[in-house]
Each structure stands twice: as structure tokens, then as C-alpha cells.
């Protein structure tokens, strides 16, 4: 009988561990293709990327596949929080965090990022006349060589929705 209890206990621990792993995996999100390129394209100009990489991302996002930059480009952000209002309809802002550096976007730039997050599948949340979209640990990889093939690949992003 003691053996049965031990086996059941191990099975219960394994089941609980697997359920926790499922919750963790479900909280992470990823996007690829045009939505990933768009997300990297609107974040990159505000990121601490070197100028040559920002220029290559801008060219790819503008539809120019023949960029001279051949290496993979990594666009990251520690946190992005966007807010619009359905009461004060002129209010829209996003705060991007890159390490210790923060950048605030307003107006058209914030709206562009907010809309792109929605296309990329970042869930929105609302409270008291405000709509929020937020993500953390954004990591986008762009491979200009693969993007140049025009087969839908070469752009991948991962992030954690919410704060």
C-alpha cells in the first residue's frame, strides 16, 4: 500500500509540474512574418540599435528587400505600454523601455505602435475610459537574406503579454 501512495504522490507532483509549465508556456507569445516585421519596424527607430541596423530595418519595413545589411538584426525592448482613451479621444501614448532608458511616444507614433501591437496579437485591457496594450521581453529577429526570398519568412518576434 505504501508503494501505491508513493507512486500516486509522484504522479501528482508530475501532473502539477506539467500544469505549471503549461501556464508559463501559455503566457509567452510569438508572431512571425509580416506582423513580426511590422512590430520590429515600429520599435527599431526608438531602440538603441546601431544606425546601420536601424536603416536596414526601415528599408525592409518600407518594402525594400535588397538591403546591403546581410547579418541578422535583433530588435529588443524590455517593456512597452501603450494607452488610448475612448473618452479623451485625442489621448494616445506609449512608453518604451530599453534597459534604463525610456522613450515616450505620443500622437501618430503611439497610434502606429498601438495598432501594430494589436496586429501582432498583444491583448488589450481596459479600465475607466482607457485601453491598454502592454508587453515585456520583446525579442524580434530579422534575417534580411531570408526576407529577400519573399517566401514569408525571416521575421520572428517573441514577447510576454502584459506587464
Report yes or no on 20 lying in a domain: no
Asked if residue 57 belongs to a domain, the reply is: yes
Calpha distance 90→55 (Å, rounded): 31
Residue 22 in domain: no
Q: What is the pLDDT of residues 59-74, one digit of tens each?
A: 999 999 989 898 999 9
Residue with cell 502592454: 134
User: Does residue 84 lie within any of the structural domains?
Assistant: yes
Binned at pLDDT 50, 70 and 90, residue 163 comes out as low
φ/ψ of 7, rounded to 5, equals -65, -45
The predicted model scores a pTM of 0.82
Task: Find the mean pLDDT for residues 48-64.
Answer: 97
Q: Does 6 fall in a domain?
A: no
In a domain, 11, yes or no: no
Is residue 91 in a domain?
yes
Q: Which three cell numbers stand for residue 145?
A: 537574406
User: Residue 122 belongs to what domain range?
Assistant: 29-161
**CA 95, CA 159: separation in Å to the nearest integer?**
16
**End-to-end CA, the chain:** 47
Q: Residue 41 and residue 25: Cα distance in Å, rounded?
A: 26
Q: For 110-131, what is each residue's pLDDT tens digit?
A: 999 999 999 999 999 988 889 9
Could you tell me if residue 129 is inside a domain? yes
Amino acid at each position: 500500500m505504501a508503494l501505491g501512495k508513493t507512486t500516486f504522490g509522484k504522479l501528482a507532483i508530475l501532473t502539477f509540474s506539467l500544469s505549471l509549465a503549461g501556464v508559463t508556456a501559455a503566457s509567452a507569445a510569438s508572431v512571425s512574418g509580416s506582423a513580426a516585421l511590422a512590430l520590429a519596424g515600429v520599435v527599431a527607430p526608438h531602440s538603441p540599435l546601431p544606425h546601420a541596423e536601424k536603416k536596414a530595418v526601415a528599408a525592409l519595413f518600407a518594402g525594400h528587400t535588397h538591403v546591403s545589411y546581410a547579418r541578422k538584426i535583433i530588435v529588443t525592448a524590455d517593456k512597452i505600454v501603450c494607452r488610448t482613451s475612448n473618452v479623451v479621444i485625442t489621448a494616445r501614448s506609449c512608453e518604451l523601455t530599453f534597459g534604463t532608458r525610456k522613450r515616450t511616444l505620443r500622437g501618430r507614433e503611439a497610434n502606429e505602435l498601438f495598432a501594430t501591437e494589436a496586429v501582432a496579437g498583444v491583448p488589450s485591457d481596459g479600465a475607466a475610459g482607457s485601453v491598454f496594450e502592454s508587453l515585456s521581453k520583446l525579442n524580434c529577429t530579422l534575417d534580411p537574406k531570408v526576407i529577400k526570398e519573399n517566401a514569408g519568412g525571416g521575421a520572428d518576434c517573441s514577447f510576454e503579454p502584459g506587464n
